[in-house]
Amino acid sequence: MAFPQRVKMSDVARTAGVSVATVSKVVNGRYGVAQATVERVRQVIHQLGYEASLGAQSLRSHRTNVLGILVSEFEPFSTELLKGASREVAGTGYQLLAYSGGDGDGAGIGWERRSLARLSGTLIDGAVIVTPTVVETRQGFHVVAVDPHTGPSGLPTVDSDNFTGAMLATNYLLSLGHRRIAHLSGRPDLESARLREAGFRKAMADAGVPVDERLVRVGGFRVESAAATAAELLALADRPTAVFAGNDLSAISTMDVARSMGLAVPDDLSVIGFDNVPESALVNPPLTTIAQPLQRMGAEAMRLLIDVIGGVERDPHVRLPTELVIRASCAAYPPPPRPGRPVPAATAGDAPPITGG
Amino acid sequence: MAFPQRVKMSDVARTAGVSVATVSKVVNGRYGVAQATVERVRQVIHQLGYEASLGAQSLRSHRTNVLGILVSEFEPFSTELLKGASREVAGTGYQLLAYSGGDGDGAGIGWERRSLARLSGTLIDGAVIVTPTVVETRQGFHVVAVDPHTGPSGLPTVDSDNFTGAMLATNYLLSLGHRRIAHLSGRPDLESARLREAGFRKAMADAGVPVDERLVRVGGFRVESAAATAAELLALADRPTAVFAGNDLSAISTMDVARSMGLAVPDDLSVIGFDNVPESALVNPPLTTIAQPLQRMGAEAMRLLIDVIGGVERDPHVRLPTELVIRASCAAYPPPPRPGRPVPAATAGDAPPITGG
DNA sequence: ATGAAAGCGCTAACAG
DNA sequence: CTGTTAGCGCTTTCAT
Q: B residues 49-78 near A, CB within 8 Å?
A: 49-56, 58-59, 73-76
Helix (H) / strand (E) containing A230: helix A223-235
| Arithmetic mean of pLDDT, A254-269 | 97
**B9-52: which CATH architecture?**
Orthogonal Bundle (1.10)
Say if residues B281 and A282 touch (Cβ distance below 8 Å).
yes
Please tell me which residue, A118 or B183, carries the higher pLDDT value. B183
pLDDT at B153: 76
> Does the CB of A138 have a partner CB in chain B at under 8 Å?
yes
- The closest CB to that of A138, out of B3, B90, B100, belongs to B3
Protein-contacted bases of chain D (C-beta within 7 A): 1-5, 7-13
- Tell me the nearest-neighbour CA distance from A211 into chain B, angstroms: 35
| Arithmetic mean of pLDDT, B152-171 | 94
The pLDDT-based confidence of B348 (bands split at 50, 70, 90) is very low
Say if residues B165 and B196 touch (Cβ distance below 8 Å).
yes
Distance CA A74, CA B67 (A): 14
Q: Residue B150 pLDDT more than 90?
A: no
Q: Which range (A319-333, B49-63, B226-240) has the least confidence?
A: B49-63
The pLDDT-based confidence of A147 (bands split at 50, 70, 90) is very high
pLDDT at B211: 98
Say if residues A142 and A175 touch (Cβ distance below 8 Å).
no
Burial of B340 (0-12, 13-18, 19+ CB in 10 A): exposed
Q: Residue B55 pLDDT more than 70?
A: yes
pLDDT at A347: 41
Q: Residue B78 pLDDT more than 80?
A: yes
Of B82, B61, B21, the C-alpha closest to B301 is: B82
The pLDDT-based confidence of A353 (bands split at 50, 70, 90) is very low
A264-311 pLDDT tens trace:
999 999 999 999 999 999 999 999 999 999 999 999 999 999 999 999
pLDDT at B293: 98
Sequence-distant (6+) residues with CB within 8 A of A332 are A176, A177, A348, A349, A351
Q: Do B97 and A100 touch (CB under 8 A)?
A: yes
Q: Residue A352 pLDDT more than 90?
A: no
pLDDT at A110: 80
pLDDT at A104: 60
Q: How far is the CA of B227 from the CAs of A337, B181, B219, B309, in angstroms?
A: 49, 17, 8, 41
Domain boundary assignment for chain B:
9-52, 66-159+295-318, 162-292
| The nucleotide closest to A10 (CA, C1' atoms) | C9
C1' (D2) to CA (A321) span, angstroms: 58
Fold exhibited by the domain A66-159+295-318: Rossmann fold (3.40.50)
Say if residues B294 and B276 touch (Cβ distance below 8 Å).
yes
Q: Average pLDDT of chain B?
A: 90
pLDDT at B137: 64
Q: A residues 250-309 near B, CB within 8 Å?
A: 278-279, 281-282
Asked if CATH classification 3.40.50.2300 holds for the domain at B162-292, the reply, yes or no, is yes
| Arithmetic mean of pLDDT, B311-316 | 95
The pLDDT-based confidence of B105 (bands split at 50, 70, 90) is low
DSSP string, A140-203: T-EEEEESPBSS--S--EEEE-HHHHHHHHHHHHHHTT--SEEEEE--TTBHHHHHHHHHHHHH
- The closest CB to that of A55, out of B79, B98, B122, belongs to B122
Please tell me which residue, B296 or A93, carries the higher pLDDT value. B296
A232-255 pLDDT tens trace:
999 999 999 999 999 999 999 999
- Tell me the nearest-neighbour CA distance from B4 into chain A, angstroms: 6
Distance CA A193, CA B167 (A): 48
Q: B residues 75-104 near A, CB within 8 Å?
A: 75-76, 79, 82-83, 85-87, 89-91, 95-104
Q: Which range (A23-32, B136-145, B206-215) has the least confidence?
A: B136-145
- Tell me the nearest-neighbour CA distance from B186 into chain A, angstroms: 22
Please tell me which residue, B357 or B141, carries the higher pLDDT value. B141
| Arithmetic mean of pLDDT, A145-157 | 86
Q: Residue B126 pLDDT more than 70?
A: yes
- Tell me the nearest-neighbour CA distance from B16 into chain A, angstroms: 20
Distance CA A240, CA A183 (A): 10
Q: Is the CB of A57 under 7 A from strand C?
A: yes
Q: Average pLDDT of chain A?
A: 90
| Arithmetic mean of pLDDT, B147-158 | 86
Which of B9, B11, B59 to mutate: most A Cβ within 10 Å? B59
Quickly count: other Cβ atoms within 10 Å of residue A203's Cβ. Answer: 24
Same fold yes or no, A9-52 and A162-292 = no
pTM of structure = 0.90
Which of B1, B6, B155 to mutate: most A Cβ within 10 Å? B6
The residue of chain B with its CA nearest to that of A114 is B51
C1' (D9) to CA (B237) span, angstroms: 68
Q: Residue A357 pLDDT more than 50?
A: no
Quickly count: other Cβ atoms within 10 Å of residue A18's Cβ. Answer: 18
